[in-house]
């Protein structure tokens, strides 16, 4: 079995977290946590980000989105999932890095391909044609902008401005 680690690990106090995608033809959508000093022991915990694995992340299968860490939670996102019994095209979650338990989770209108972006108090993701900002402590949606073209990257935040581009060549800038 070929392993594909497609995102940079988030270093936290207790664990190194990596997204393990399984075979390059069978991406499984799980997020795995490994102890820093005993990586060979395998995962301490795992969390299923997407209920549908497969080779097509842009179709909602699995997840290739990098996570974000604010000192308290790991913010993770992916493709097709179920949240509170509702089928979602994508999902954003805050996880406790010690045990993988869910602090909060939010259903999204599309799959997340780019990195989760976090600044104090706000988590931002792009999910297909949606740019979504959520409250970092509760997951409540603060902003959900729908564009004409799909976003196909990661939001970047600098000096209180969020920048993100679309596949149609439009660069958006939003004040936080």
CATH number at residue 144: 2.40.128.630
Ramachandran quadrant class, 148 (left: phi over 0; alpha: psi -120 to 50; beta: rest): alpha
Report the chain's terminal Cα–Cα distance, integer Å: 44
* Residue that the structure tokens 């399984």 belong to: 22
Is 97 domain-assigned?
Answer: yes
pLDDT at residue 85 in the model: 96
Note down the domain range covering 131.
10-149
Ramachandran quadrant class, 160 (left: phi over 0; alpha: psi -120 to 50; beta: rest): left
For the chain, which ranges sit under pLDDT 50? 1-8, 13, 16-26
Is 170 domain-assigned?
Answer: no
Is 28 domain-assigned?
Answer: yes
Ramachandran quadrant class, 162 (left: phi over 0; alpha: psi -120 to 50; beta: rest): beta
Q: Name the token pair of 111.
A: 């799959």
Alpha-carbon distance of 11 to 131, in angstroms, equals 26
Is 71 domain-assigned?
Answer: yes
pLDDT at residue 44 in the model: 87
Is 1 domain-assigned?
Answer: no
Is 169 domain-assigned?
Answer: no
Count of structural domains, the chain: 1
pLDDT at residue 12 in the model: 55
Which DSSP category does 114 fall into?
Answer: S
Alpha-carbon distance of 66 to 118, in angstroms, equals 11
| pTM for the predicted model, two decimal places | 0.86
Which DSSP category does 67 fall into?
Answer: P
pLDDT digits 0-9 by tens, 109-160: 999 989 999 999 999 999 999 999 999 999 999 999 999 999 988 999 999 9
pLDDT at residue 10 in the model: 56
Is 5 domain-assigned?
Answer: no
Alpha-carbon distance of 106 to 85, in angstroms, equals 12
Is 160 domain-assigned?
Answer: no
């Amino acid at each position: 079995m070929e392993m594909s680690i497609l995102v940079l690990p988030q270093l936290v106090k207790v664990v190194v977290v990596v997204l393990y995608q399984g075979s390059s033809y069978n991406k499984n959508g799980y997020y795995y946590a490994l102890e820093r000093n005993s990586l060979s022991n395998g995962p301490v915990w795992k969390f299923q980000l997407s209920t549908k694995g497969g080779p097509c992340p842009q179709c909602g299968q699995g997840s290739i989105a990098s996570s974000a860490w604010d000192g308290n939670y790991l913010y993770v996102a992916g493709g097709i999932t179920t949240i509170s019994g509702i089928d979602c095209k994508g999902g954003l979650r805050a996880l406790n890095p010690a045990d993988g338990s869910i602090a909060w989770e939010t259903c999204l209108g599309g799959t997340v391909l780019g990195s989760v972006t976090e600044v104090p108090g706000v988590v931002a993701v792009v999910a297909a044609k949606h740019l979504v900002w959520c409250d970092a402590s509760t997951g409540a949606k603060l902003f959900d902008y729908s564009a004409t073209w799909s976003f196909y990257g990661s939001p970047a935040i600098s000096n209180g401005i969020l920048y993100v581009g679309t596949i149609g060549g439009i660069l958006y800038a939003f004040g936080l």
